[in-house]
Amino acid sequence: MPQLQALIFDVDGTLAETERDGHRIAFNRAFAAAGLDWDWSIEQYGELLEVAGGKERIRFYLDRHVPNFNPPNHWQQDLTAHIADLHRAKTAHYRQLLSEGIISLRPGVKRLLRQARQAGVRLAIATTSAPDNVLALLSTALAPDAASWFEVIAAGDIVPAKKPAPDVYCYVLEAMVLKPDNCLVIEDSYQGLQAALQAGLSTVVTVNNYTQHQDFTGATLVLNHLGEPDDPFRSIAGNCGAATHFDLALAEQLLSQVSTMG
Ligand code: XBP
Ligand code: MG
């Protein structure tokens, strides 16, 4: 029977609802500051989330929505460099938003992380988001020293191929010398689930407004959130018995379910 040795967390949409009121606003502020009239609505941003990674998302938007984009004069030479500049500015805006305390953790996240630390279950992060963003979210929403709770923080361009490619999860497994059978991933999106599944990892999905209608075939469990003893989760797919909130006992139970099925 495989033993639970590690929990691997996605960040955006999983630890916290960062996209609509965090990343989206930061992109729009960076566009305005650069003199661009692009403004990503809540609805349009949902479509753009199809592409993971901020730089990749800007390029996708340009290709799909502004095919005849006429770069300002000072942009002429190198579009990639200007996208990277825009993205750096966006990261600064995002950090500013986080420092205003507008984003809090999703239900159950802090409780589960604390329980894992107490039980000696190893922790890691696998995200498409820029490392600075992750560190800022951890220190503002979780605890000033929260980055040290995670043995590996695999973020942003650490692997060239972003989710849904499995690379970021493979990177974590290799860095921690872990087998997929001993880990459980917490994700919120189709792209994230595909990445984890392709790395051979069992995955629990906690959906949010942007991802609730996505296809989560292959997930071990799909929930509306991790839940708290006084704020039970709603189970959308999978077998969680009589559990009302996600904890290590349920995580162990899921891993053994997977091993008997496989
Ligand atoms: C979510 C993403 C990220 C953020 C933006 O990543 O797709 O691109 O929207 O972050 P995950 P950056 O769910 O894997 O955490 O602008 O820093 O790329
Ligand atoms: Mg996510």
44 pLDDT above the threshold of 80:
yes
Q: What is the DSSP string of 202-245?
A: EEEEE--TTTTTS--TT-SEEESS--BTTB---EEEE--TT-SS
Relative to beta strand 6-9, strand 183-187 is parallel
Q: Is 52 in the pocket of ligand 1 (CB under 6 A)?
A: yes
The verdict on whether 10 is a catalytic residue reads yes
Tell me if 192 CB under 6 Å of ligand 1: yes
Question: pLDDT tens digits for 166-196?
Answer: 999 999 999 999 999 999 999 999 999 999 9
- C-alpha torsion 56→61→63→69, nearest 10: -120
- Give Cβ neighbours of residue 121 (< 8 Å, ≥ 6 apart): 4, 5, 6, 7, 248
In angstroms, rounded to a whole number, what is the distance separating the alpha carbons of residues 221 and 106? 17
19 CB less than 6 Å from ligand 1?
Answer: yes
CB 123 within 8 A of CB 247: no
d(CA 121, CA 249): 12
pLDDT digits (tens, 9 = 90+) for 111-134: 999 999 999 999 999 999 999 999
Q: Which two tokens stand for residue 107?
A: 């239900």
| Residue 129 Cβ < 6 Å to ligand 1 | yes
Is the Cβ–Cβ distance between 205 and 223 less than 8 Å? yes
Separation of CA 76 and ligand 2 centre (Å): 33
Q: Is the CB of 13 inside a 6 Å radius of any atom of ligand 1?
A: yes
Q: Tell me the average pLDDT across 90-108.
A: 95
Sheet with 183-187, side-by-side order of all strands: 152-154, 122-126, 6-9, 183-187, 202-206, 221-223, 235-238
What is the CA(241)–ligand 2 centre distance, in A? Answer: 26
Separation of CA 70 and ligand 1 centre (Å)? 27
CA-CA-CA-CA torsion sign (26, 31, 35, 36): negative
pLDDT score, position 2: 82
- Predicted local confidence at residue 262, as pLDDT: 63
Structure confidence by residue, pLDDT tens digits, 199-245 = 999 999 999 999 999 999 999 999 999 999 999 999 999 999 999 99
What are residue 125's DSSP bridge partners? Answer: 9, 153
**Residue 63 is among the residues annotated as catalytic for this protein:** no
The pTM (predicted TM-score) of the whole model is 0.94
End-to-end CA distance of the chain: 12
Interval 134-164: pLDDT, tens? 999 999 999 999 999 999 999 999 999 999 9
Question: Which of 209, 220, 250, 215 is CA-nearest to residue 108?
Answer: 250
Residue of 8, 15, 21, 23 with the most ligand 1 atoms within 8 Å of its CB, for mutation: 23
Q: What pLDDT does 127 receive?
A: 98
For the chain, the average pLDDT equals 95
Distance 222 CA to ligand 2 centre (A): 14
